[in-house]
Copies of this chain bind each other. A is one copy, B any other.
Amino acid sequence: MAEQSRYLLNDDQVPTSWYNIVPDLPAPPPPPLHPATHQPIGPDDLAPLFPMDLILQEVSQDRYVPIPDEVRDVYLLWRATPLHRAHRLERALGTPARIYYKYEGTSPAGSHKPNTAVPQAYYNAKAGIRRLTTETGAGQWGTALSFAAAQYGIDCEIWQVRASYDQKPYRRAMMEAFGGTVHPSPSDVTEYGRKMLAEDPTNPGSLGIAITEAVEVAAQDPDSRYALGSVLNHVLMHQTVIGEEALLQMAMAGDVPDVIIGCTGGGSNFAGLTFPFLREKLAGTMDPEIRAVEPASCPTLTKGTYAYDFGDTGGMTPLVKMHTLGHDFIPDPIHAGGLRYHGMAPLISHIYELGLITAESRLQRECFAAGVQFARTEGVVPGPEPTHALASTVDEALRCKETGEEKVILTALSGHGMLDMAAYDAYFAGELVDHEFSDELMAEALTRLPQLDL
């Protein structure tokens, strides 16, 4: 009998609730502030952007929020996702470590993003909203929201960061296949986009700019709302289905993780896998190291400042306390488009400050090298984003080889890279450059942070 390599769950084991980590934390996260008054915002301040169900989730103190049947029915198209034991990677590395990966690439978008796109589209449709606007980087989020909007019969309009729009034409086609409309950002259909293009017609865009454009359109149309693919509390909470499933699956495998490793851009994939394990850690039932891995070119946790800043580049969003490189920072065009965000989710930033997780940064070429090794052994070409977690996983496994430790490593394989092959192509052609964020850039950004009189 072959070694078991996949741990699957039945439909009835798919979670029926999302997990909200906020009430379990030893200290509450700092509140978001109104961009003009600098006072804590209330639900009404967010009403032009989000439906009330999502606003209430954003500020919820309930540990568990039930997943509506209409959402869970759609989840069941691809959930539960598989947990794999990476036997073949382990053997290639010659490590005594046991490596597991939770794979979200079997979803409609090929990543974890539909886990929150579906409930967001559902709650908006339920509130009578007719159109969702959003931004997308690598295109994963835009694809997910296009798919989700189609499930509930509402429209979806997407501003895609120009650099990714040009690098990944198949992503646009896929958003259109699901029924979405796509603009390169900066675009000429918003005031802010036109302003950016007037300053620099070749602006490669950034998530911050694309957010401003999508927010501008939603704020001006009472039938439209905005949807964000990461960063916010309710988004992170929706993603906890990943970790809840993984807890059951690790138990099936009879192993308890010593290290849990995920990549972080906005932070939702990382939170999704790790928050349920962090609950267990806080309860004392296990004690894994929980490690965030970010790109060296956009290292919010390891190099950023923990301060109140805008979520977007145009300064239209509330001020949130987070690790930031400055809201006007435009990262180098690394190929892991999903990790090109100037800030980190406030909740993850807070948890990092509490000392509950660790963080490190990685250069992109070592990440692609790990991705190729993973593809050739495990048969999945990973998205550029999770290759950051894989690079850290490989190093951890090689350390175990030296020390002889049989560590159990659990890593978040947030999506496949089939629509990112142009990036692999550039890697094989030796065209990728390792960009590193500098202390000088940070010092400069500090001078432009909003000045609060708190």
Q: Which residues of A contact B (CB under 8 A)?
A: 1-6, 8, 10-12, 69, 72-74, 76-78, 84, 87-88, 106-108, 110, 114, 147, 150-151, 169-174, 176-179, 372, 375-376, 378-381, 418-419, 421-422, 424-425, 428
Contact = CB atoms under 8 A, between A and B. Distances in A.
A147 B379 CA distance: 7
7 contacts: A2-B72, A88-B151, A170-B419, A172-B425, A176-B428, A177-B375, A178-B375
Contact of A372 (B69, B177, B419): B177
A88 B422 CA distance: 33
Contacts of A2: 11, 69, 72-73, 76
A172 B418 CA distance: 11
B173 A422 contact: yes
Contacts of A381: 108, 174, 177-178
Interface SS of chain A: helix, strand, loop or mixed? Answer: helix
A173 B424 contact: yes
A1 B12 CA distance: 8
A78 B170 contact: no
B11 A4 contact: yes
A341 to B, nearest CB: 24
B1 A6 contact: no
Copies in the complex: 2
A92 to B, nearest CB: 10
Contacts of A380: 108
Given A77-B378, A173-B425, A177-B381, A418 B110 contact: yes
A3 B73 CA distance: 8
Nearest to A149: B376
A421 B12 contact: no
B108 A421 contact: no
A6 B76 CA distance: 7
Contacts of A172: 425
A148 to B, nearest CB: 9
Which of A8, A84, A110, A422 has most chain B Cβ within 10 Å?
A8
Nearest to A109: B379
Nearest to A173: B421
Contacts of A421: 169-171, 173-174, 177, 419
Which of A4, A178, A378, A379 has most chain B Cβ within 10 Å?
A379
B5 A8 contact: no
A108 B380 CA distance: 5
B11 A178 contact: no
A418 B379 contact: no
A170 B170 contact: yes
A432 to B, nearest CB: 13
Given A106-B106, A173-B421, A376 B179 contact: yes
A-B complex: 5 closest residue pairs judged by Cβ atoms? A108-B379, A170-B421, A173-B421, A173-B425, A150-B376
B428 A173 contact: yes
Given A5-B76, A77-B84, 7 more contacts: A4-B11, A4-B76, A6-B11, A108-B380, A170-B419, A170-B421, A171-B421
A336 to B, nearest CB: 16
A5 B87 CA distance: 30
